[in-house]
Amino acid sequence: MSSPSGYPRDATTATIPVSKAESISAPLIKRNNKSRHFRKSKKTAKSHLPDYIVYEPTAAQCLKATNANPLDVFLAMYPPSLREFTIEMSNLYSVQNKDKPLNLSMEELLVFYGVLLTSGYCTVPRRHLLWSLDDDVHNNSISNAMRRNRFDEIMASIHVVDNTKCNDDPFFKVRPIFQELNSSYKILPISKWLSVDEIHKGKPIRYGYKVWSLAFSGGYLYHMEPYVGVHTLLPKTGLGQGPSIVLGLAEKAGVPGGCNFMHDNLFTTLSLIDEMTKRGYGCTGTLRQNQMFDVPFKPIKEFQKLPRGSTEFLSEGEKLLVRWRDNSVVTVASNVENVYSEAPVKRWNKERKAYDYLQQPQIIRSYNQQMGGVDLHDLQVCFMNHNICKYKCARPMHIECFKKFHNV
């Protein structure tokens, strides 16, 4: 069952060397804004982006996908290869560290994960209370499915890798789960509208792990990569960290041409939009002020004094840049909108205590509608947050990945 690297042989995602981050053969050129030719025009050059091909499943595929049993859907996303490998590695870990066989079976593994799922909506201060005989906390389904001591044994030994084959990857203990998750996400076709963002718990006071994620605007995740500094398994493009993340996620997920990416100012640069255009992707994102050097917009302090709803626009090649004054100033760049247009929007006026009707650039409206898929996915995961966790090594991340199987 095991492979020389300690991962499943039949995993659909190949094991990637993690001694250093991936890099492409020829770094991309980051173009200076001073060399660009901006025009105060509502029209950009003619777009050469390919059309998005709508996925049309066959009758057999529709019949196969139609399944009302949630358990079957979950098991389809949680592949047998990973389940069998988890059993093998957990039994091996128990023998290596406790000199005692765990004898974990497939049925026990699924019951163990079932207890984790149940703890998401049947919460108690301590997990042992689920097996208590007190009427106010006792859970009959859990106590009949698995004994408390057996659950503790499995919880202490659950593993997906052989610890004797450790490598330089900081996420070595959970890397097979990320590989299988990213493989399972490919079951569904990729949507036209995609958002790129980071999953980082505890905003604004952040803690835990940071995960770069690519998701559909409705919340379905297509690919994720944990951030581990130089060991992050995304290519270095020479355009900076933000653009490298967007290009790397698009490459890893196998995004077809014609898809449109939405991302915030952590990722957006004009050089990124140029490269996305070459690759046949739409790209829309907010821009930070430090990316606006030599861009002939009005000074930001002067623009902030203008009335609410004021706009500025520029075109450069196939890109459209729009600045809009709302409660604050926002600047958006895109290669999707070729003609500047506006749409009505209402905003609350505190002084008049009534709504004001303003004109909002269509590019900003599209961004607001399609951005936020990663945040929506994170919200859906939190709805069924497991109440049982073990703060040792990679156990929290192991359970966090399992929650994503459940969310799918």
Least confident among 38-52, 55-69, 305-319: 55-69
Q: Could you give the CA distance from residue 1 to residue 3 in angstroms, rounded to a whole number?
A: 7
Same domain, 357 and 399: no
Q: Could you give the CA distance from residue 313 to residue 181 in angstroms, rounded to a whole number?
A: 42
Place 400 in a pLDDT band, splitting at 50, 70 and 90.
low
Tens of pLDDT, residues 174-224: 899 899 889 988 888 899 999 999 887 766 667 778 899 999 988 889 999
| Residue 50: φ, ψ to 5° | -70, 160
Same domain, 332 and 391: no
Residues 270-285 have a mean pLDDT of 95
Say if residues 97 and 158 touch (Cβ distance below 8 Å). Answer: no
Residue 84 has pLDDT above 70, yes or no: yes
Give me the pLDDT at residue 69, please. 74
Residue 10 has pLDDT above 50, yes or no: no
| Residue 366: φ, ψ to 5° | -65, -40
Same domain, 72 and 108: yes
- What is the dihedral sign for C-alpha 118, 124, 127, 131? negative
Q: Which of 126, 178, 181 is nearest to 151 (CA)?
A: 126
Number of domains in the chain: 2
Locate all alpha helices (DSSP H) within 260-372, ordered by sequence.
270-278, 300-304, 362-370
| Residue 37: φ, ψ to 5° | -115, 95
Tens of pLDDT, residues 299-349: 999 999 999 999 999 999 999 999 999 989 999 999 998 899 999 999 998
Same domain, 77 and 101: yes
User: Domain of 153?
Assistant: 68-170+386-407
Same domain, 365 and 393: no
Host H or E run for residue 165: none
Residue 361 inside a domain? The answer is: yes
pLDDT, greater one: 2 or 249: 249
Contacts of 302-307 spanning 24+ positions with Cβ under 8 A: 303/329, 304/329
> What is the total residue count of the chain?
408
Residues 6+ apart with CB under 8 A from 254: 186, 190
Strand 329-334 to strand 260-263: parallel, antiparallel, or no bridges (unpaired)? Answer: unpaired
Q: What is the DSSP string of 224-273?
A: EEE--GGG-SS-B-SS-HHHHHHHHHHHHHTPPTT-EEEE-TTT--HHHH
Same domain, 395 and 325: no
Least confident among 19-23, 145-149, 344-348: 19-23
Residue 45 inside a domain? The answer is: no
Same domain, 326 and 398: no
Cβ-in-10-Å burial (0-12, 13-18, 19+) of 49 comes to buried
Same domain, 350 and 395: no
Give me the amino acid identity at 395: R
As given in the structure block, the two tokens for residue 390 are 């073990």
Give me the amino acid identity at 60: A
Residue 377 inside a domain? The answer is: no
In the sheet that holds 193-200, the strands lie side by side as 221-226, 210-216, 193-200, 260-263, 282-286, 329-334, 319-325, 311-316
pTM of the model: 0.84
Residue 28 inside a domain? The answer is: no
Cβ-in-10-Å burial (0-12, 13-18, 19+) of 109 comes to middle
Residue 152 inside a domain? The answer is: yes
Residue 273 inside a domain? The answer is: no
Crossing angle of helices 395-407/106-118, nearest 10°?
Answer: 80
Same domain, 395 and 350: no
- What is the dihedral sign for C-alpha 9, 16, 250, 285? positive
Residue 12 has pLDDT above 60, yes or no: no
Residue 160 inside a domain? The answer is: yes
Residue 191 inside a domain? The answer is: no
Q: Which of 252, 211, 260 is nearest to 378 (CA)?
A: 211
Same domain, 87 and 112: yes
